[in-house]
Amino acid sequence: MRTVIVGGSLVGLTAAASLQLNGDEVTVLEQAPEVRAAGAGIGLWPNALREFDRIGIGATVRALGSRIDTWFHDADGRRIRAAGSAASDHRFLLVPRPALNSLLADTVGRDRIRTGARATGYTEDGPEVVVHLADGTDLRADLLIGADGVYSRTRAQLVPGSEAVAHDGHYAWRALVPAGDERPEGTVLTVGRDRTRGGYARVTEGRTMWMVNQFDAGPLTGGKRDRALARARNLAGAGWHDDLLRMIAETPEEAVLENQIMVVPPLDRWTSPRVALIGDAAHGLSPHISAGGTLGVEDAGVLRAALAAGPDTRTALARYEAARTARFTEVRAHAAAVEQAVGAREFAERYAAFSHWMLTTAPAG
Ligand SMILES: Cc1cc2nc3c(=O)[nH]c(=O)nc-3n(C[C@H](O)[C@H](O)[C@H](O)COP(=O)(O)OP(=O)(O)OC[C@H]3O[C@@H](n4cnc5c(N)ncnc54)[C@H](O)[C@@H]3O)c2cc1C
């Protein structure tokens, strides 16, 4: 099967490698001049690692990252876990994003990835789909996969009126910095005052990632680092998190990533007979559940399995859509509950419930 994937980042590249297992002839279109990954580190759950095992890179991904045993804290540094939750509900792997994307690109084969290639739309033409590129050329395929992120062109055409919307007042700041003398096991996540959440974790031996998330951020003044620092003080009651404040204060301004969080509204369709959405293009979520990437990798596995089972593309895509929209109804309910949690204890309970649900209901692929 000739498959064109729009978007050469985490989910598009994973889908490409997964569909190569089915014997697909895959072409990835990436608008950027090179495969790259915005961002610092990404927390991956075992659900994603299983698909990486299947495409043969699980061991390398595990070696790239570091295993995090999550502890939550309140603003005064008290460690909190939900009563009755299992240790496995708190484990994930933190991986540097650029290294992960590079590994995925090598796995797919660089010759299968066309960089500097921007898709502008498509036409479904009987048993084929014609993908239109900004340079005026077309590509004919049997299947088009839109893995083109929250601002997806593919989604705009498949589901008109589905533009990503700002998650009101929600900002995230983060940076990857040289590891210093901070606690190497990390603080991972502090649920602070005024709806601020953040902390830091060691991504690799020599690199630490700090992050600050703020709901209802209010007016943004000053530079990116100062904006992050102002919110991080909500995490550092009684001086317990001075190392986080120091880490942020010492980060060069240009190394600080700042995002207004954008989300994709629930869609009434993810597919048509020859087109499927996957990853953030289908379900861009607020990152406060740290799960969008893992769920996108799950999408790739479910799509691979559905297409392998046949009997034809249309039926397989309908099966993929039914499975994933059902899962995302639950994800969105958990995400809302975690977002609305008041205080660190309630947060820990709701996050553990989400995590347990994620792990125990993961698709078999
Ligand atoms: C602050 C923050 C923290 C997060 N933390 C976590 C975490 O810890 N764990 C987790 O699982 N998830 C996390 N997420 C979510 C995760 O980052 C995303 O779900 C994931 O990166 C989505 O990957 P994607 O490949 O679907 O989309 P993207 O990474 O957005 O990639 C889309 C690609 O498509 C390309 N593209 C777009 N349009 C076109 C076009 N027309 N033609 C060609 N190419 C195009 C883009 O250039 C880009 O390369 C976090 C998100 C944020 C914002």
Cα dihedral across residues 188, 189, 192, 198: positive or negative: positive
pLDDT score recorded for residue 151: 97
**Lowest mean per-residue pLDDT among 23-27, 109-113, 164-168, 200-204:** 200-204
- What phi, psi does 101 have (nearest 5°)? -65, -35
Rounded to whole angstroms, the maximal C-alpha distance in the chain is 66
pLDDT score recorded for residue 365: 63
Which residues have a Cβ under 8 Å from the Cβ of 279 and sit 6 or more positions away? 7, 9, 10, 11, 12, 15, 147, 149, 292, 293, 296, 299, 300
pLDDT score recorded for residue 206: 85
At 254, is the pLDDT very low, low, confident or very high (cuts 50, 70, 90)?
very high
Q: Which domains, and CATH codes, for the chain?
A: 2-67+95-164+264-360 (3.50.50.60), 168-261 (3.30.9.30)
pLDDT score recorded for residue 207: 87
Which residues are paired to 140 by β-bridges? Answer: 130
Using the predicted structure, report yes or no on whether residue 187 has a pLDDT greater than 90.
no
Nearest to 198 by CA among 230, 169, 168, 223: 230
- In this structure, the residues whose C-beta lies within 6 A of any atom of ligand 1 are 6-12, 29-32, 42-43, 118-119, 147-149, 153, 172, 259, 279-280, 287, 290-294, 296
pLDDT score recorded for residue 125: 87
- The H or E element containing residue 41 is strand 41-44
pLDDT score recorded for residue 71: 83
Average pLDDT, the chain: 93
Q: Which atom of ligand 1 is nearest to the CA of 211?
A: 1
Say if CB 343 and CB 191 are below 8 A apart.
Answer: yes
Distances (CA, A) of 150 to 157, 203, 274: 13, 25, 21
Distance 11 CA to ligand 1 centre (A): 7
Distance 115 CA to ligand 1 centre (A): 16
User: Can you tell me the mean pLDDT for 136-147?
Assistant: 98
Q: Which atom of ligand 1 is nearest to the CA of 118?
A: 42
Which residues have a Cβ under 8 Å from the Cβ of 1 and sit 6 or more positions away? 19, 22, 23, 24, 25, 142, 143, 307, 313
pLDDT score recorded for residue 10: 97
Please write the tens of the pLDDT for every residue from 196-252.
999 998 887 788 999 999 999 988 999 999 999 999 999 998 788 899 999 999 999
Using the predicted structure, report yes or no on whether residue 86 has a pLDDT greater than 90.
no
pLDDT score recorded for residue 120: 98
Q: Report the distance separating Cα 315 and Cα 307, nearest Å.
A: 9
At 84, is the pLDDT very low, low, confident or very high (cuts 50, 70, 90)?
confident
Please write the tens of the pLDDT for every residue from 257-306.
999 999 999 999 999 999 999 999 999 999 889 999 999 999 999 999 99
Distances (CA, A) of 1 to 15, 32, 87, 360: 14, 26, 42, 33
Say if CB 171 and CB 261 are below 8 A apart.
Answer: yes
Q: Which atom of ligand 1 is nearest to the CA of 41?
A: 8
Q: Report the distance separating Cα 365 and Cα 359, nearest Å.
A: 14
**Lowest mean per-residue pLDDT among 166-175, 180-189, 214-223, 307-316:** 180-189
pLDDT score recorded for residue 181: 82
Say if CB 233 and CB 245 are below 8 A apart.
Answer: yes
pLDDT score recorded for residue 202: 86
